[in-house]
Structure 1
Amino acid sequence: MSSHPNNENAEPAQPERSGLSRRKLFGAAGVTAAVVGAAGVGALAGRASAAQPPNHLDTAVPFRGQHQAGIVTEAQDRMHFATFDVTTKSRDDVIKMLADWTEMAERMTQGEEAFPNGSIGQNPYSPPSDTGEALGLPPSQLTLTIGFGPSFFVKDGVDRFGIADKKPAELVDLPKFPNEKIDPARSGGDIVVQACANDPQVAVHAIRNLARIGFGTVAVRYSQLGFGRTSSTTRDQTTPRNLFGFKDGTANMRSDETDRLNKSVWVADGDGPAWLTGGTYLVARRIRMLIEQWDRTTLLEQERVIGRQKGSGAPMGLDDEFQELNFDLTNDKDEPLIDPVAHVRLASSKNLGGIEILRRGYNFTDGSDGFGHLDAGLFFIAFVRSPVTQFVPMQNAISRNDAMNEYVRPTSSAVFACPPGIPEGDKSTFWGSTLFD
């Protein structure tokens, strides 16, 4: 469905920082105990420690850099996506929370507790400053990425925190598209935090502690757990499969494709307000897949709908996954091998006048819908330089004619502006600090 050499966040590892790390605290025995105790989180997908080489758990992704981590960073296997509504009218409270969040985020991404000595050596009659479920677990390539929604700047016509003049013109709610059934309670939001890691418990721990510290200033609007990445952002990663069983994201941009990223992902100087230069826009869509209906569909029809072969991932009429789509190939009846309404045709940059997006989605399974059907699908995440000129035209193209529409139903929608990264050594800057200058 449908890196950057200069990006410090694209580096694979960073030397371990000083301080009390989760790993140092308990050692290998503690890791085993914590993993066993966390079996309930992401149980359907299994623990990442069983699916990934050890270095994917031990590695810490640099928090600081030109761009935020979690965008072109090597896509991890697990996600906890959460949006928040601001519940206070105090500008100072929002600023303080964002500064606290930044400090916590940096610590947690390096495998440390949310606060120094967060679970030990404290007053036993007070709640600990770290919830503790990630004690003993390594960094697991945790990344935390923040963004701000349209309502963070202006809500019901009110300039909430004196930053209405810094709202980007591009930052508007997505229009209504055909074939969607959007739940407002699971859409929008003032602030988003995307936590990605190779251990689901590490990702959940991060969101849980940010939400806990934000109590009184923000409240969770909705959240989504994801497993099994549905895209690759580096050349070392193989193409994953979505819940329809097809390889997903074959043509996705890679972290070393500087020109493509500069053209389609990073906000450039002059695109909008200065605070967003070097940042990007995050588009999120929860897309329910009608699994049972798809599973009763023939292989020939499935491949017609997608436009690729299910086994190899190659375009119809070709034999290698990474061969360029060829829309001119026909069968002996002079019919196109890639159907005119196949998903890959309609979503391709060829069909869209060169439009590309950076995809970073995840599979989800949220139990059943109460009628004997799985509530499962794709939590679609894309990063774009312009949601108005990139995502909206793409969605218009596929929402009207895509053969896949018979088997999917978007149920939530949101767009956020993600600021650039925080420079190394700059202790005065925090998430969103340039908004409040």
Structure 2
Amino acid sequence: MELPMQYTEKMKELLGEDYLKYLGSFEESRYFGLRTNTLKLQPEDLKDKKVFSLTPVPWCREGFYYIEGERPAKHPYYHAGLYYLQEPSAMSPGAVLPIEPGDRVLDICAAPGGKSTHLGARLQGEGLLVANDISVGRAKALLKNIELFGIRNSVVMSETPNKLGERFQGFFDKILIDAPCSGEGMFRKEPDMVKSWNEEMLSFCQKEQTKILESCAHMLRPGGMMLYSTCTFAVEENEKSIENFLKSHPEFSLLPIVKEYGFVDGVNEFNQCARLYPHRLKGEGHFLALMLKGGEAQRVVLTGEAEEGERDLAPFFEFANKTLQTKFVGTYKIFGDSLYLLPKEMPAMKGLRILRTGWQLGTIKKGRFEPSQAFAMGLSKGDVMNASDFPLQDERVIRYLKGETVEADGKDGWTLVCVDGYPLGWAKRQAGRLKNKYAVRWKWE
């Protein structure tokens, strides 16, 4: 691979005697990874299924390497949301930020959702995940991955960091900034990124990083933690961005990141930060800085959404009485034709560009309720009265994912279709046939 001369000179200065080892990493194959969805199963359970050749990613409890040539994206378990395909080093931010169930968490540059799904799974259904991306198009991909993972307690939006900073002052316990960057750490994985690299891009990215850090500083509560990450090696976008931020925000301080698994110190005096290099570990390049906001720990309360009257919800409760074993308690809200179950920590969202508010249960039209794909993915087999559970090797699994009608015995009515006990979507059973209700936009191709 031909690298820009300006870039190679900077890397020689940065790496010193390690530079030739770094260059040697371009001759090695890249690594492929997937991360277990712990809302649905544990990592050891996924490995025990032996559907892929999995070896652990040491810095991420949920992560595995798989062998190039295997196709986990073309597998029913992918459609069941059992894992997310993710470059191994990119798993580090979600592993390092100390998420606890019940936290209010913001992922401000979230698309396509790798880190958001990691954070959402670690919340284990408690607290709130706000996943934002300024690009509406990219936010749609983020939304699909949030729904595929079965994350119930999330809000997906597409807003500017500045507007969010004005609305959510002091609201979040944890914030992840996976900042836009020049992508130097991904040159091996995505060689086309080399063509767009230049000094002007570095300058542009640093300015954007400064704006995002400033907005997030206002949104983090005292006592909260913020993780800043990039997939670049440029000191200007990493340590320099952090240095400038800390100078203007003395209430923030760096927390040490343990240097294991090939992680190394940040440059200069920023040894509490972590750098990941492809010649030191099995992954691509990354930078991590974990910060604590000083002050007395406190939580602000922002006014939430009002609950809808039961009259509007009657079609849903009729469906629930016939279909669900589990009763889901909480605040229900109708937006347009869609019914949502809102997270307990839900703040007011009026005036913001929202793609999804909480768990979308389905639509109510002409007095009838139709369950959504997101509703199915957030359930377990035990939550419903009627399920058609097919073993992995059953040819009906793929046929269902392709949108076909399949045969299955059982009681007529709404049925949750599963593979090995894990939900795939809805069908409506009639006379031994399942009328397919799998989301058209998700169909197997």
Structure with greater Cα Rg: 2
Fold shared per TM-score above 0.5? no
Q: TM-score, normalised by structure 2?
A: 0.21
Greater share of strand: 2
**Higher-RCO chain (CA-CA 8 Å, sequence separation at least 6):** 1
Greater share of helix: 2
Q: TM-score, normalised by structure 1?
A: 0.21
